[in-house]
Amino acid sequence: MSEISTVQGIVIKKIEYGDTSHIITLYTKQHGKLSAIIKGSRSSKSKMGNKVDVMNFVEIILYRKQSREVQVISQVELINPFSKIKEDLEKLKYATGILELLLSLIPEDDVNERLFSGTMKALEKINDSDFPAVNVFAKYLMFFIKEIGYEIQLEHCTECNADLRKSNSFAFKPDQGILCSQCKNLYDFAEEIGKEHFDLLNCLNTKNYCEKFKRKTIGQIIKLLEKYLIYHIPEFKGIKSFHYY
């Protein structure tokens, strides 16, 4: 028997199915990531098809059965289309990166209310403010890595356990994290980073959006964090959407 509920979620994927329907993937507070079919949504008479465009925040009536991989949606209401994101390529690039992380790295039915709340906050920040989207994404990426269980150690060297605050230079090793000045030359493939990069990583771990840091530095840290995820999750091949913008 199906459980009928009202669910709010972000559309992170939409594909055509059969002649008249769509299958969408939603990220929700109640159920985590789930896939559901909207029958007849491609019909000219349907009012639901455009409401479930990717990145829309919607409320749905869901017929959910545990034994079924693809659930059924009977009704859709659009809450927020994040229209300003869709009108700005810079905003779209980083907001799409957020959706790709959810789509690629979050398993079905993995409920994480903090991650849902943080995702909504990041998308709203990108959509509603003039704050640089790259800063918001960098902060979200740091938060995302922590929420999925791969938090980066910022207090002690991952090799010798020395206090990183007393180090004046650092290196980043994708399989471990941050090395102090004494350990950074132990590995040829450890990537040297400066104090500004280290300070940025610490800043991203706070409530601050780190506006004092250069865009170039933020971009370099995003690439390092991406490499870190690729190492720890081999099936992840990086944020593909970044290559389209």
> Same domain, yes or no, for 166 and 61?
no
Segment 192-215 shows an average pLDDT of 95
pLDDT over 90 (residue 173): yes
> Same domain, yes or no, for 200 and 133?
yes
pLDDT, position 69: 80
> Same domain, yes or no, for 228 and 217?
yes
> Same domain, yes or no, for 33 and 64?
yes
Segment 83-103 shows an average pLDDT of 97
Q: pLDDT tens-digit profile of 29-80?
A: 999 999 999 998 888 777 888 899 999 999 999 988 877 888 899 999 999 9
Which of 23, 50, 81 delimits the end of a domain? 81
Segment 81-95 shows an average pLDDT of 97
Yes or no: say if 95 and 85 are a contact pair by the CB < 8 Å rule.
yes
pLDDT over 70 (residue 141): yes
Yes or no: say if 36 and 48 are a contact pair by the CB < 8 Å rule.
no
Return the CATH number at 59: 2.40.50.140
Q: Which domain holds residue 207?
A: 84-156+162-244
> Same domain, yes or no, for 13 and 112?
no
Return the CATH number at 181: 1.20.1440.120
pLDDT, position 18: 87
How far does the chain reach from its first CA to its final CA, in angstroms?
45
> Same domain, yes or no, for 64 and 151?
no
pLDDT, position 1: 62
Gap between the Cα atoms of 70 and 116, Å rounded: 21
> Considering Cα of 188, then 139, then 159, then 233, what sign does the dihedral take?
negative
> Same domain, yes or no, for 49 and 94?
no
pLDDT, position 109: 87
> Same domain, yes or no, for 115 and 182?
yes
Number of domain units in the chain = 2
> Same domain, yes or no, for 60 and 129?
no
Closest CA to 137 of 80, 85, 177: 85
- pLDDT above 70 covers a percentage of the chain that reads 100
